[in-house]
Amino acid sequence: MSGTNPETAILVFAKAPVAGAAKTRLIPLLGAAGAAALHVRLIERALATAGAAAPDTLALWCAPDAADAFLQSAAQQSGATLQVQLGADLGARMAHAFAATLQQTRYAICIGADCPVLTAQHLRDATDALRAGNDAVFVPAEDGGYALIGLSRTAPELMSGIAWGSATVMAQTRERLRENNLRWHELETLWDIDRPQDYLRLQQSGLMDDLPSPV
């Protein structure tokens, strides 16, 4: 695809929405099928948000492979290429995706599917931060992680040895940024959907209709 956000690729990271393996921390609230159904909705929203930012390239980086029928259909409908995540942990998988992408474009922005309050404007602001000369840009998350990382150069050191899924991800990443003398910018802190209380917040926000009901 070719958009109005030149020299920018947006990478959407998503696992296949398999019941029992998707959004597992929400299974006690929604059941396995309900949690997987929510994951489907969140992936669709993330792809729509990414597409609305009009990047030159949109890619859906999937796990564990590219065989899932929903992910294949979602990529086709959104105009995204379908790529397979490779690496032992999230950091290695992101580092691989950034390395492959930055060989072909100047800026790369990676998001997950867990932050429905992320907008196309956040993505455009992230690109602007990279164009301004920053090596990296982030949207921190309230839980201590981040909902977006953008790079203008490969920086695997930012993704190695991080306690993924913990409340210290962003703090550890800031330490790596300082240690490597990288220039970075942070956009506003947002919230994402991981725990039952996050889901209740999503219900109350009115951001999405027809959400799965608690069991």
- Identify the band that residue 197 occupies on the pLDDT scale cut at 50, 70 and 90: very high
Instruction: Determine the Cα–Cα distance for residues 190 and 205; give it in Å rounded to an integer.
Output: 13
- pLDDT band for 3, please (50, 70, 90 cuts): low
Residue 113 vs residues 35, 74, 168: alpha-carbon distances, Å: 13, 13, 20
DSSP 146-186: EEEEEESS--GGGSSS--TTSTTHHHHHHHHHHHTT--EEE
Q: Whole-prediction pTM value?
A: 0.95
Residue 150 predicted with pLDDT over 80:
yes
Residue 21 pLDDT class (50, 70, 90 cuts): very high
pLDDT at 1 over 50: no
pLDDT at 109: 98
pLDDT in tens, 177-193: 999 999 999 999 999 99
Mean pLDDT of the chain: 96
**Interatomic CA distance for residues 46 and 113, integer angstroms:** 5
| DSSP-assigned letter for residue 22 | S
**Edge-first strand listing for the sheet containing 55-63:** 81-84, 55-63, 5-15, 107-111, 146-151, 136-140, 184-186
Q: 136: Cβ–Cβ under 8 A, 6 or more apart, which residues?
A: 130, 149, 150, 151, 152, 155, 158, 177, 182, 183, 184, 185
pLDDT at 215: 87
- pLDDT reading at 162 higher than 70: yes
User: pLDDT tens digit string along 64-122?
Assistant: 999 999 999 999 999 999 999 999 999 999 999 999 999 999 999 999 999 999 999 99
In 79-118, which positions are buried (b, 16+ CB within 10 angstroms) versus exposed (e)?
A: ebeebebeeeebbebbbbbbebbbeeeebbbbbbbbbbbb
Q: What is the pLDDT at residue 88?
A: 94
Half-sphere CA count of 4, side-chain side, radius 13 A: 5
